[in-house]
A and B are shown apart, each in its own frame.
Chain A
Amino acid sequence: MNQSPSETTPALELVELSKHFGNVVAVDRISLRVEQGEFFSLLGPSGCGKSTTLRMIAGFEEPTSGRLLLDGQEGSRLPPFKRNTNLVFQSYALFPHMTVRDNVAYGPRRARLSRTEVASRVEDALRTVRMWEYADRLPKALSGGQRQRVALARGLVNHPAVLLLDEPLGALDLKLRREMQIELKEIQRRVGISFVYVTHDQEEALTLSDRIAVMNGGRVEQLGTPEEIYNRPTTRFCADFIGEANLIEVRVGDRSGDGRVSVVLPGGGTALVGSVSPSSADSATATLVLRPSRVALDDKEPPHGAERAAIPVEVRRVIFQGSVVRVDLEGPEGVSLSASTSEADTSDLRVGRRMWAHWAPGETHLVEPTKSGTP
């Protein structure tokens, strides 16, 4: 990612940063940079090291090794109160004995800003999160979403180099979470502060982020824009964790000179693939990643070739999921895959019906086969 020389210093740069707890390696030599004004997410399942990474950036954990640069300055040995970062906690951690105003003013007051400066900053921050009317309330008298906004304002008011958010929407219900996602993104764009956002919710990460680092086992599996991560997963883990994916074990056939690769599908058919990740290079078998939303179903065998790839399947289950219907299928050699369709009428999709599942080869990716790669 760093071949292009950047004109501006990144807001945050991690270089080979590691954290060991005794024998457990929580974070394993991760390197990444967060640009000024970027919305950056650390995405991964619980225990993948994302929260530990965030706490190292905030200063609550000391890195075992590696470097941490804040606005270009080495910061890994600074205590939390001397860092130009602010953390929004999942539990909000508002001071219960202070009004909303005093909560937000806490940072500026510690920075010994003048009284008028504190007042104007607090007003700005509270207006940004639309909580100015509640300035004199105590946290007890606020709803979860409102507390969330106050916690956000309490961080923003300090104009940090990066604002760190630890699953900040985790305690909200689904509807409110969706609303807050949009608002959060809007606020971030307006204030132009870099956000580092920790979440295990892939949908949230895709919605909010400029770039995402997918973490697993203390390492970064893939780093890229939401489109790159979703459309061109580089590892099996990423493909499986982000969105839904059919993972089909295939034999690698031709690797032609022009870079196009064809694979042998279960049942013997061949198909071209859209892209090949480095993790599957030079191996005889690989995993084909195919999104259920890209799979179409048809009664007749579609014409093979460069445009369509297909395998014969039998319908196993039809599951109504609201806006889409998921169809679980079984193909040759016991391979199972699913297709999702938004078509209203699926009454003719009877269990046991034999059909053809087909897709555009350009929308598939090849990643490493099972039992390889991830140690």
Chain B
Amino acid sequence: MRAMKPERTSPPAPRIYWTLARRRRTATAVRVTFLAVMALLLFGPIVVLAVFSFNRSIVIGFPFRGGTLEWYRAALGETAAWDSLRASLQIALVVTPMCLLLGLLSAFALSRFRFRLRGVTGSFILLPLVIPWLLIGVSGLIFFSLVDVRLSLWTVGVMHVVIAFPLVTALLSAQLVRLDPHIHEASLDLGAGEIETLRHVIIPLLLPTIGASAVFVFSWSFNNFIVSFFTAGFDNTFPIWVFSSLRRARDLPVVNALATLISFVQIVVIVGVWQLLKVRLERRGQDIRDVVAGA
């Protein structure tokens, strides 16, 4: 494209050139506008909330009555909120390794072995990715009451595993399929059994994808509201606490402050992990986008 730019010494460019250039400028303008509108719609509300968490007024809205850390101070005293936060963290910390294990096993089964009903099994495993979480939440509730299991953080954890591990399956099997099968054979040929091959070759090669999966699963579990809402019983996860607090108008700024704080921490952690993965991958000459997009 840059080659089209006329050099100073060249004869006056023909009219067609100017038409093309104008068209290109218009296209760029359209693209930039589109992206700006999208970004505004996606992130605007979040930024507005974050800004208003520093507003002195109890009403979340204009006018801005001057900055304060009052709501943050109040948030520190909200023991119920911190309890729910701890619960959410605990769940995510248990759910993540479970999902990685299940995802790894199922990805292996689907991509490495040819068995009867493989296609059916694959669709079945990936089904939770396309079923609305509302339905999954309600059916979880019905299921647990049918089998007479008391709802608690444990039932929430089980449901989180159900919705999140298929994501790991999808990411890992995409990666496994891309792996040269001869690498696996080479390891066997050089005297390693299947377990040793898994340990020294397959897992290290999948590690970046496993890391990326962990980030996704953790944030899915930590942020999930709807499935948790139906299966938590009298226990609270952080998103449930936020939802229940919304009904009391005077708590609103506190909720807002806490949510802003948590979002900030999450963003920092996720970006940090992402950068860590990226640096490690670049040292091995890989691109992180390949690992996640599977392209």
B186 x A95 contact (CB < 8 A) = yes
* Known contacts A87-B186, A138-B284, A138-B285; A93 and B191 CB within 8 A of each other: no
Checking A95, A110, A140 against B183 with a beta-carbon cut-off of 8 angstroms, the contacting residue is A95
Q: How far is the CA of A81 from the CA of B183 in the complex (A)?
A: 14
A89 x B193 contact (CB < 8 A) = no
Q: How far is the CA of A85 from the CA of B191 in the complex (A)?
A: 10
B183 x A106 contact (CB < 8 A) = no
Q: How far is the CA of A59 from the CA of B185 in the complex (A)?
A: 10
* Known contacts A96-B205, A97-B284; A110 and B182 CB within 8 A of each other: no
Interface digits, B267-292 against A, CB 8 Å rule (1 contact, 0 not)?
00000000000000000110000000
A68 at the B interface (CB under 8 A): no
Q: How far is the CA of A283 from the CA of B121 in the complex (A)?
A: 61
B202 nearest CB across to chain A (Å): 10
B187 at the A interface (CB under 8 A): yes
Interface digits, A204-237 against B, CB 8 Å rule (1 contact, 0 not)?
0000000000000000000000000000000000
A324 at the B interface (CB under 8 A): no
B186 x A141 contact (CB < 8 A) = no
B204 x A91 contact (CB < 8 A) = no
Residue of A nearest to B185 (CB): A60
A51 at the B interface (CB under 8 A): no
A110 x B185 contact (CB < 8 A) = no
B284 x A106 contact (CB < 8 A) = no
B200 at the A interface (CB under 8 A): yes
Q: How far is the CA of A95 from the CA of B203 in the complex (A)?
A: 12
A167 nearest CB across to chain B (Å): 12
- Most-contacted residue by chain A among B190, B192, B200, B205 (CB, 10 A): B190
Majority SS at the chain B contact face = helix
For window 77-116 of A, CB contacts with B under 8 Å fall at 79-81, 85-87, 89, 91, 93-97, 106-107, 110-111
B189 at the A interface (CB under 8 A): yes
Q: Cβ of B21: which chain A residues have Cβ within 8 Å of it?
A: none
A19 at the B interface (CB under 8 A): no
A121 at the B interface (CB under 8 A): no
A80 x B205 contact (CB < 8 A) = no
A154 x B190 contact (CB < 8 A) = yes
Checking A58, A89, A138, A158 against B191 with a beta-carbon cut-off of 8 angstroms, the contacting residue is A158
Q: Cβ of B187: which chain A residues have Cβ within 8 Å of it?
A: 95, 106
Interface digits, B225-265 against A, CB 8 Å rule (1 contact, 0 not)?
00000000000000000000000000000000000000000
Q: How far is the CA of A154 from the CA of B189 in the complex (A)?
A: 11
B189 x A95 contact (CB < 8 A) = no
A110 x B196 contact (CB < 8 A) = yes
Q: Cβ of B186: which chain A residues have Cβ within 8 Å of it?
A: 87, 89, 93-95, 154
Q: Cβ of B285: which chain A residues have Cβ within 8 Å of it?
A: 138, 140-141
Checking B183, B189, B200 against A80 with a beta-carbon cut-off of 8 angstroms, the contacting residue is B189
Q: Cβ of A85: which chain B residues have Cβ within 8 Å of it?
A: 189
B120 nearest CB across to chain A (Å): 24
B189 x A58 contact (CB < 8 A) = yes
Residue of B nearest to A164 (CB): B189
Q: Cβ of A95: which chain B residues have Cβ within 8 Å of it?
A: 183, 186-187, 201, 205
B191 x A107 contact (CB < 8 A) = yes
Q: Cβ of A94: which chain B residues have Cβ within 8 Å of it?
A: 183, 186
B289 nearest CB across to chain A (Å): 17
Q: How far is the CA of A81 from the CA of B200 in the complex (A)?
A: 15
A93 x B182 contact (CB < 8 A) = yes
Interface digits, B166-203 against A, CB 8 Å rule (1 contact, 0 not)?
00000000000000101101111111110010001100
Q: How far is the CA of A97 from the CA of B204 in the complex (A)?
A: 7
* Known contacts A96-B205, A97-B205, A140-B285; A80 and B180 CB within 8 A of each other: no
B185 x A107 contact (CB < 8 A) = no
A354 nearest CB across to chain B (Å): 57
Checking A96, A110, A111 against B284 with a beta-carbon cut-off of 8 angstroms, the contacting residue is A96
Residue of B nearest to A90 (CB): B182
B182 x A89 contact (CB < 8 A) = yes
Q: How far is the CA of A106 from the CA of B201 in the complex (A)?
A: 10
- Most-contacted residue by chain A among B188, B196, B284 (CB, 10 A): B188
B284 x A80 contact (CB < 8 A) = no
Q: Cβ of A140: which chain B residues have Cβ within 8 Å of it?
A: 284-285
Q: Cβ of B193: which chain A residues have Cβ within 8 Å of it?
A: 81
B180 x A91 contact (CB < 8 A) = yes
Residue of A nearest to B283 (CB): A138
- Most-contacted residue by chain B among A87, A97, A141 (CB, 10 A): A97
Residue of A nearest to B190 (CB): A107
Checking A58, A59, A106, A111 against B200 with a beta-carbon cut-off of 8 angstroms, the contacting residue is A106
Q: How far is the CA of A107 from the CA of B182 in the complex (A)?
A: 15
Q: How far is the CA of A86 from the CA of B200 in the complex (A)?
A: 18
Q: How far is the CA of A107 from the CA of B188 in the complex (A)?
A: 9
Residue of B nearest to A151 (CB): B186
Residue of B nearest to A95 (CB): B201
B292 nearest CB across to chain A (Å): 18
Q: Cβ of B190: which chain A residues have Cβ within 8 Å of it?
A: 81, 86, 106-107, 110, 154, 158
B43 nearest CB across to chain A (Å): 37
Q: Cβ of A89: which chain B residues have Cβ within 8 Å of it?
A: 182, 185-186
A241 nearest CB across to chain B (Å): 27
B204 x A81 contact (CB < 8 A) = no
Q: How far is the CA of A195 from the CA of B228 in the complex (A)?
A: 63
What is the interface of chain A, defined by CB distance below 8 A to chain B?
A: 58-60, 79-81, 85-87, 89, 91, 93-97, 106-107, 110-111, 138, 140-141, 154, 158
Q: A60-B185, A60-B188 are in contact. List 17 more A-B contacts (CB 8 A).
A: A59-B188, A79-B188, A80-B185, A81-B189, A81-B191, A86-B190, A87-B189, A91-B180, A93-B180, A93-B182, A94-B183, A95-B205, A106-B200, A110-B191, A110-B192, A138-B284, A140-B284
8 of the cross-chain contacts (CB-CB < 8 Å) are A80-B185, A81-B193, A89-B186, A91-B180, A93-B180, A93-B183, A97-B204, A110-B196
What is the interface of chain B, defined by CB distance below 8 A to chain A?
A: 180, 182-183, 185-193, 196, 200-201, 204-205, 284-285
Closest 6 CB pairs of A and B: A93-B182, A110-B191, A107-B190, A93-B186, A140-B285, A80-B188
